[in-house]
Amino acid sequence: MTMEIIFVTGKGGVGKSAVAAALAMQKAQSGRKTLLVELGRESFYQNALNLSAVSYHGVTWPGFPQLEGRFTLALWSGPECLKEYALYLLKIESLYRLFFENPVTRTLIQVAPALPELSIMGKATSGPRRVGPALNYDTIVIDAFATGHFMALLRAPLGMAEAVRFGPMGEQSRSINKVLSNPELCKYVVVAFPEELPVVEGLELAQDIQQTVGIKPTLVMNRWQEISASVLQEHSDEEYLQRFQRHLQRLEQRQNELLALVKENFLPVMLPQIFEVDFSKVVTALTASLSEVKL
Amino acid sequence: MISSLTSAKVIICVGSGGVGKTTVASAIAFQAAEEGKKVLVLTVDPAKRLKTTMGLSDTEDMVQIKHPSLTGELWAAVIDNKKTFDDFVRRAAAKAGGNVDRILKNRLYIQLSTTLSGSQEFTAVEKLYSVYESQKFDLIVLDTPPAQHAIDFLVAPQKLSELFNDNIAKWFREPGTKGVGIFTRLVQTGTKQVMKALENLTGSEFIGELADFFRDVEKWQTRLEERTSAVHRLLVGEQSHFVLVTSFDEAKLHEAEQFSKEIRKGGYRLSAVIINRAYPSGLRMNVTPGLDLQFSAKSSTDLERAYMKTQNYYRDRDQIFEKFFIRMGREAQVLRLPELESDVSDLGGVEKMARELKA
């Protein structure tokens, strides 16, 4: 099975995490051993799914015994990725301790430009590069940062390769960059929903990604509401129903305008608005919608 | 004006990305200007959202926003992150008689001033402080940089100043008074191995740049420390009020509660929590339950069914809000804003949102 790494991004609040989870779930259901990764210090999924913890090395996504452990969820922070990589490179535990328990290194990690970002990208691409501890997954779905932070993440290896031309760090950066620009290995998904700013920012982001790695992202239009003609045209004497109908008419118009804008450059994947409060139900419903789509 | 904010001279809007911080900040500023105040809304925004929202054509300096209903003055400015950081360094280094060009050209500095976590937050408060010092405005509303978590805004400048406060920086510096350079010092203290490991990881070029950087940074270190503590005094002072803007989902509300605890621990004042786009504007959230029974599955029309489906969904969500309100209501004023009829992407939208804040 060929390995694939899928980065999911978009403007904040567009439902990235739900889409990333649904995508990972779909991959796992299709028989691929899948890792869903969230980035940062704190886990979003932990709260959303009421899990006791989400760890660096991963926990099984709850409630799907039929997937037989093919769906794992992990939380990666920059410092942890760096630590793992350094341990792999330094090999000797005592040297590693000396290295990491040293105040110089601690401060460096906190502030050194793009080092945590670089480590995250290093870990994400460690499979195809055969560097670092093995990541035995067919698919890695990364619920990545929103717009600006994602571009900083994506550009970190490039920036580092330019800043440090010689030595191992420059070399590593170049090899990471090579994987990130390989369409056979990496896919990018930009999530938006039918409102002006998420769509406009999403389109800009997609363009930035394409310019940086040369791969055209897939655009997902999330929370799309299919509104039937009868709902839009039906006559009602109730004032509140009339108001609600006007709300839907505006929504319909806005949706169509924004979809037309997206379609100028993309063939978007459409995902419906899910009228559920429970996060795992939202993910299950989105997974069902995704099953007809090839990503 | 939101009642808990009437005495504020500085309002800081915090919140994670995508919750509508910029529009809420603009609406708060708009409202204060309607009440006759001279207000500045200030944002660090790579996506230039405020620019779009306020219809600004120029991002360089402060621009006055004209609108018939404003009896006071409304000004807006987009902070240029790199420029503000460079300006600060230039001033600080010039005072110390340092070589400004060399700092500005250092590759690590270039990365630090634009991409490093903490630099946007630093420039935001730097600009806030200098405008506040100028006393030109009755109220300054700061729209904080997009962050993953609301708390990042308070943590980030701290992280940045640790770089300069910590003894670490001294490791990399040139002799100074004691006449001991970086490599001598490292050898002396027996951490040669650490340096070797660091070099293995990063390459010697990186270490060289790092040493250069810290050597230069020393020149503006004191100034930065002074500034950091002055800004801190401003942010904990009674003229400064924090407003948390959040979207309406369980994870975000959970984060809001955590944030409120953190912020109080730090001595700051969280005055209001604004839950943005809690429900569509047309939806009746307080209908008598009996009304729902009129819709039986058979007799109801497509429109009625669509309404029921939507209303049920928002009602389910509202239970989450009720729980949140009970826990948070004592800490800060909690407001819910409906999703507006159209996108808030121009001044008209800001005005509408300002009306909602009043309601």
DSSP string, A122-174: HHHTHHHHT-SS----SEEEEE---HHHHHHHHHHHHHHHHH--SSHHHHHHH
The residues facing A188 across adjacent strands are A7
Mutation for B interface: A9, A87, A110, most B CBs within 10 A: A110
Question: According to the model, what pLDDT value does residue B163 have?
Answer: 59
Q: Which of residues 55-84 of A touch B (CB under 8 A)?
A: none
Min Cα–Cα distance to chain A from B35, Å: 29
Question: According to the model, what pLDDT value does residue B34 have?
Answer: 94
CB contacts, 8 Å: B304 with chain A: 236, 241
pLDDT above 50: residue A168: yes
pLDDT above 70: residue B277: yes
For residue B209, tell me if it sits in a domain. Answer: no
CB contacts, 8 Å: A102 with chain B: 191, 194
With CB atoms and an 8 Å threshold, state whether A148 touches B166. no
For residue B169, tell me if it sits in a domain. Answer: no
DSSP letters for A36-88: EEEESSS-HHHHHHT-S---SS-EEPTT-GGGTT-EEEEEE-HHHHHHHHHHH
The residues facing B19 across adjacent strands are none
Report which DSSP code applies to B5. G
Percentage of chain B with pLDDT > 70?
Answer: 64
With CB atoms and an 8 Å threshold, state whether B17 touches A147. yes
Min Cα–Cα distance to chain B from A47, Å: 6
Q: Which of residues 269-298 of B touch A (CB under 8 A)?
A: 280-284, 287
Q: Which of residues 28-57 of A touch B (CB under 8 A)?
A: 40-42, 44, 47-48
Question: According to the model, what pLDDT value does residue A133 have?
Answer: 81
With CB atoms and an 8 Å threshold, state whether A14 touches B18. yes
pLDDT above 50: residue B158: yes
Q: Which of residues 193-212 of B touch A (CB under 8 A)?
A: 193-194, 197-206, 209-210
Question: According to the model, what pLDDT value does residue B31 have?
Answer: 94
Residue in A41, A196, A231 closest to B345 by CB: A196
- Structural domains of chain A in order of their starting residue, each with its CATH number: 4-225+267-290 (3.40.50.300)
Question: According to the model, what pLDDT value does residue A103 have?
Answer: 62
Residue with tokens 């040139």: B174
Mean pLDDT for the stretch of residues B294-307: 72
- Give yes or no for a contact between B306 and A231, defined as CB atoms under 8 angstroms apart: yes
Percentage of chain A with pLDDT > 70?
Answer: 89
Mutation for A interface: B307, B312, B314, B352, most A CBs within 10 A: B307
> How many interchain CB pairs under 8 A, A with B?
189
For residue B173, tell me if it sits in a domain. Answer: no
CA pseudo-torsion sign B327, B333, B339, B344: negative
- Element (DSSP H or E) covering residue B11: strand B10-14
For residue B13, tell me if it sits in a domain. Answer: yes
Min Cα–Cα distance to chain A from B44, Å: 12
What domain count does chain B have?
1
Q: Which two tokens stand for residue B276?
A: 């943005």
Q: Which two tokens stand for residue B332?
A: 């800060």
- Please determine, for the modelled complex, whether the ipTM score is greater than 0.85: no
Q: Which two tokens stand for residue B143?
A: 């729209």
Mean pLDDT rounded to a whole number for chain B: 76
Mean pLDDT for the stretch of residues B5-29: 88
Question: Strand, helix or coil at A206?
Answer: helix
Mean pLDDT rounded to a whole number for chain A: 88
Residue in B19, B301, B316 closest to A234 by CB: B301
CATH of the domain at B53: 3.40.50.300
Give the domain range for residue B42: 3-97+118-160+231-358
Min Cα–Cα distance to chain A from B359, Å: 19
d(CA A32, CA A70) in angstroms, rounded, equals 7
For residue B225, tell me if it sits in a domain. Answer: no
Closest by CA to A223, choosing from A47, A7, A2, A13, is A13
Task: Give the tens place of pLDDT for each residue, B120-150.
Answer: 777 888 889 989 999 999 999 999 877 666 6
Residue in B168, B191, B202 closest to A164 by CB: B202
Mean pLDDT for the stretch of residues A221-228: 95
Q: Residue B35 contacts by C-beta under 8 Å, 6 or more apart in sequence?
A: B1, B71, B72
Work out the number of other CB atoms within 10 angstroms of the CB of residue A56.
14
**Separation of CA B156 from chain center:** 10
Question: According to the model, what pLDDT value does residue B263 have?
Answer: 85
Angle between helices B107-114 and A147-163 (to 10 degrees): 180
Number of residues written out for chain A: 295
Q: Which of residues 66-85 of B touch A (CB under 8 A)?
A: none
Task: Give the tens place of pLDDT for each residue, B241-258.
Answer: 999 998 887 777 877 888
d(CA A26, CA A222) in angstroms, rounded, equals 16
Confidence class for position B293, pLDDT limits 50, 70, 90: very low
Q: Which two tokens stand for residue A227?
A: 């509104």
pLDDT above 80: residue A233: yes
For residue B196, tell me if it sits in a domain. Answer: no
Q: Does B162 lie at the interface with A, CB-CB under 8 angstroms?
A: yes
d(CA B101, CA B90) in angstroms, rounded, equals 9
Confidence class for position B177, pLDDT limits 50, 70, 90: very low
For residue B177, tell me if it sits in a domain. Answer: no
Mean pLDDT for the stretch of residues B80-85: 78
With CB atoms and an 8 Å threshold, state whether A196 touches B343. yes
For residue B38, tell me if it sits in a domain. Answer: yes
Task: Give the tens place of pLDDT for each residue, B180-235.
Answer: 455 555 444 545 566 666 666 666 666 666 666 666 666 667 777 787 788 889 99
